[in-house]
Chain A
Amino acid sequence: MRTSLPRILSIFVMFAASAGAHAAVETVVGKPAPAFELPVFGSESRHVALESLRGKVVLLDFWASWCGPCRQSFPLYEKLHGELPAQDFTLLAINLDEMADGPAAFLYEHPVSYTSLADPAGDVARKFGLIGMPTSFVIDRDGVVRSRHTGFKPQDIDAVRGEIRELIAAGTEGRQADAN
């Protein structure tokens, strides 16, 4: 058998091409949020499914104990969680640490009343196409992702709060119109 140079080269070129051929991250904004069910961090027997929160506006926050901006976001998200009505809004955090000791210490330092789920393999993070840490998603009452916020600066909280309030108000008006 005589193997031609172009044939061998084409094989190497395919390998080389794979160096830059990382699948483009597809945005989930404007689409139904990918479904998931994850264990609650620190209480693995309890699970929460995103589906179970349908009807509420959800702020989904992906975090990790080694992520610097998360130290700023946690106290502000905790405040937000306290000031918005629980029947209309839920804040759900998803921890992405590979080991559990880091987040346990983090939560001890930054205690919050909202639920944190554990996704050590990053499966849900992959579904949501994260490009940075932390990342949060605002999901409306119908389960559609309305926006993505990558990174966190303290001043970002006002935009997030405004957006969530608008979605809550829109849904409440809609439900009142249905009732009439």
Chain B
Amino acid sequence: MRINFGAAGRLILVTAALLGGCATTPVQPWERGRLARWDMRWDPDPLQAAMREHAHFSKEGSTGEIGAAGGGCGCN
């Protein structure tokens, strides 16, 4: 088998092949049990997340780390 592709042909071929990777089976509404689990949350423990954010915010306050700028003493 001999295949001759130009540069454009190769590009199209690769793009098309990558598009094929987008083919997925959607998660059905009743299949979201695992996604809804407590340990699948971005922040499983809101209190701990708030404390971590507070420390991080205090340290990085001068760069406006988590959306708002603030002091650096960690006392607010």
Q: Please list the residues of chain A having a beta carbon within 8 angstroms of any beta carbon in chain B.
A: 1-3, 5, 8-9, 12-13, 15-16, 18-19, 22, 62, 64-67, 96-99, 102, 122, 125-126, 130-133, 135
Contact = CB atoms under 8 A, between A and B. Distances in A.
Interface residues of B, number: 24
Nearest to A63: B30
B23 A16 contact: yes
Nearest to A119: B30
Given A3-B1, A62-B30, A16 B9 contact: no
Contacts, number: 72
**Most chain B CB neighbours (cut-off 10 Å) among A8, A62, A122, A126:** A8
Interface of B: 1-3, 5, 9, 12-13, 16-17, 19-20, 22-24, 26, 28-34, 36-37
Contact of A122 (B1, B12, B22, B28): B28
A15 B29 contact: no
Given A96-B30, A133-B30, A133-B32, A9 B13 contact: yes
Contact of B33 (A3, A9, A98): A98
Given A3-B1, A12-B20, A64 B13 contact: no
B33 to A, nearest CB: 5
A2 B2 contact: yes
Contacts of B12: 9
Contacts of B16: 9, 12-13, 15-16
